[in-house]
Amino acid sequence: MKIDNSSIKKILMIKFRGIGDVILSTVVLENLKRNFPNASIDYLTEKPSDQLLNLLDAISNVHLFTDKSLSGRFKLIRKIRKEKYDLIFDFYANPFTAQITFLSRAKYRAGFPYRGRKYAYNLFGPEERGKFHAADLHLEFLKKIGLSVTTRNLKLKIDDESISFARQFFENTFSQKDFVIGISPSGGWKSKKCDPIKFAEIADASAQKYNAKILIVWGPGDENDTDEIIRLMKSNATKAPVTNIKQMASLISQCKILIANDSGPMHISTAIGTPTLSLHGPTDPNLQGPYGSKHKWIIKSDLHCIICNKLECPYNHECFLELDVDDVLSKVDKLIEKNNIAL
């Protein structure tokens, strides 16, 4: 089926899961605006991604999937149906989002051709899994259904209030000349979170080599790891205050560099342009690493179990515990050089 671009007035993008996944999906927004200049674009997502999506000028409305009961699901389907979308992109493509798409009455329904879900769509993205970076997969989707792709930009905007919050914090905590490196211990599941002892070693080495100030940014579920990193460090570190996701993004934007796990904060950092080094163990940096030429990643590629994608490590977390700190700093050196960062 070929899309009649001139007939498209309302578009819905569906993307659930973590905030990092949602941020990567924003790579399509500029391209959709170019393909459908007269169309409005809405999102269907989960919390807390709505906080960042609501700030984007390209998005008209954000629908939230919050009530996961059977009645809540039916209510959401009815709500989407009433919106009378012309085109739906189901970038999540699980059984429920396939149902939403199928029952929406949209003329054009695009999704991935996964088993048990193909019935819901009349336009299909790539079949290949594990071939493209997660951001590029969305762009390949557009190409597959005949749309033009001219930009590869992630979209993230920070509100003025959050910018003021971060600037005030930095003014009160650091001097203007301080070289601030952010550390983010966040991670969606246990095995892809670097151990506090290794983060402490990386932070100490960074503080010594670059005379850097260390700021640890954290979110829900990260406070114990944050406190442990600070306890294990030989040098001083600053623990960021409690923040919402917008305030965290703004704090990251003030850092010279962020060192992070494969996580939402890592993708936030890349989207706002803070040079980012991501640490990988069970996940493939070629598929989930920082997106864009400004950034770097590191992985202990000589391990037999590397990129296992397991939620729990069956061994001793060697992918992080045996990571060479000098190798990490070598990547930081390259970040500094390629981004012309003044020490």
Q: pLDDT (tens digit, 9 = 90+) per residue, 75-110?
A: 999 999 999 999 999 999 999 999 999 999 999 999
Rounded (10°) CA dihedral 310, 315, 319, 325: 150
- Residue 47 is part of a domain; what is its CATH number? 3.40.50.2000
At which of 144, 179, 214 does a domain end?
A: 144
Do 182 and 140 lie in one domain? The reply is no
Residue with the two structure tokens 């259904």:
145
Task: Please tell me the pTM assigned to this model.
Answer: 0.95
Q: Determine the 3-state secondary structure of 224 from DSSP.
A: helix
- pLDDT-derived band at 38 (thresholds 50, 70, 90) equals very high
Which of 144, 171, 203 marks a domain boundary? 144
Alpha-carbon span 131 to 300, nearest angstrom? 21
Both 50 and 138 in one domain: the answer is yes
Which pLDDT band holds residue 208 (cuts at 50, 70, 90)?
Answer: very high
Q: Is 320 helix (H, G, I), strand (E, B) or coil?
A: helix
The predicted pLDDT at position 31 comes to 98
Within-domain flag for 17 = yes
Range of the domain at 58: 5-144
Residue 155 lies inside a defined structural domain of this protein: no
Looking at residue 218, the DSSP 8-state letter turns out to be -
From first CA to last CA, the distance across the chain in angstroms is 55
Residue 153 lies in a domain: no
H or E stretch covering 325 = helix 325-338
Which element (helix H / strand E) includes 103?
Answer: helix 95-103
Helix 223-232 vs helix 196-210: angle between axes, to the nearest 10 degrees? Answer: 50
CA distance 183 to 332: 13
C-alpha to C-alpha distance for 293 and 233, rounded to whole angstroms = 31
Q: Tell me, what's the pLDDT at 1? A: 86
pLDDT of residue 128: 86
Number of domains into which the chain is organized: 2
In a domain, 343, yes or no: no
Q: Which two tokens stand for residue 120?
A: 């819901």
Question: What are the tokens at 147?
Answer: 């749309």
Of 21, 154, 151, the closest CA to residue 97 belongs to 21
**CA–CA separation, 53 vs 49, rounded Å?**
6
